[in-house]
């Protein structure tokens, strides 16, 4: 008899969990954040590993490419973990998310900071960039883990919004997961096993759009060469919350790019 890899025994549980994900991604994100009970390294949010280790690995690139005198907009901010870290390096850090439950939590978690603000908005909607620019002026943009959960059309729409938001001085610094294996291998890498799916992973699988990967090829499709210049890019490591007995953050292969408009 053929021997199947253990990951295939995850299929029934994965299919059952993912069958209830709303088709409208904004509804899915709102439902997800409404269910979150705790954040940080011991919390429910898969990608909120806590601490500044991951952010500090990006900081040299951020310092090289983003204008420190401009505000920074954190698109897809969730509970504002990275918005708060960015606030130490820019005059104003603004977190933007499609889920009001996320931005409400972010406001509460950021109450001790005077140069942090939040907005609930869908940045794939035409005109979103102009509305944000009207409030905060042209700005830098930081994006972590948004493009890889969007379809190609939404990726292009988001890139258009960012172009209108940054003006001539702003820059985009994006970080995305770029695991090239199949979905079951990815889930297994994050600590899932037959009969055991860690809660942060279960909440994501059962509530959110299916993730993909985002590397140089996907970036070029979303940010065309005629409109955008790549200042620098390369591989990075993205941390997820610990989901094994070792208690250390799970590490996911990722990709970063710093981009500037050609106009």
Over residues 228-252, the pLDDT tens digits come to: 999 999 999 999 998 876 678 899 9
Q: Count Cβ atoms within 10 A of the Cβ of residue 116 and give its class: 0-12 exposed, 13-18 middle, 19 or more buried.
A: buried
Q: How far apart are alpha carbons 111 and 88 in whole angstroms? A: 15
Distance CA 70, CA 139 (A): 5
pLDDT at 11 over 80: no
Which of 18-32, 38-52, 239-253 has the weakest average pLDDT?
239-253
With a CB cutoff of 8 Å and minimum separation 6, the contacts of 56 are none
Confidence check: pLDDT of 27 > 50: yes
CA neighbours within 13 Å on the CB side: how many for 19?
7
């Amino acid at each position: 008899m053929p021997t199947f890899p253990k990951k295939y025994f995850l299929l029934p549980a994965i299919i059952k969990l993912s069958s209830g994900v709303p088709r409208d991604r904004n509804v899915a994100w709102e439902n997800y954040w409404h269910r979150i009970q705790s954040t940080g390294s011991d919390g429910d949010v898969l990608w909120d590993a806590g601490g500044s280790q991951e952010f500090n690995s990006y900081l040299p690139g951020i310092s090289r490419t983003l204008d420190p005198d401009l505000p920074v907009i954190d698109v897809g901010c969730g509970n504002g973990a990275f918005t708060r870290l960015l606030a130490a390096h820019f005059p104003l850090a603004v977190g933007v998310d499609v889920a009001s439950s996320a931005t409400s939590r972010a406001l509460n978690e950021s109450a001790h900071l005077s140069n942090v603000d939040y907005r609930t908005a869908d940045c794939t909607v035409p005109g979103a960039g102009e509305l944000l620019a009207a409030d905060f002026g042209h700005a830098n943009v930081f994006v972590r883990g948004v493009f890889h959960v969007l379809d190609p059309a939404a990726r292009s729409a988001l890139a258009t919004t960012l172009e209108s938001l940054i003006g001539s001085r702003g820059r985009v610094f994006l970080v995305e997961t770029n695991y090239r294996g199949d979905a079951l291998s990815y889930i297994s890498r994050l600590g899932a096993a037959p009969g055991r799916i860690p809660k942060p992973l279960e909440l994501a699988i059962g509530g959110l759009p299916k993730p993909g990967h985002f590397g140089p090829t996907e970036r070029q499709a979303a940010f065309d060469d005629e409109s955008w210049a790549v200042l620098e890019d390369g591989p990075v490591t993205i941390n997820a919350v610990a989901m094994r007995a070792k208690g250390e953050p799970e590490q996911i292969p990722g990709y970063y790019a710093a981009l500037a408009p050609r106009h």
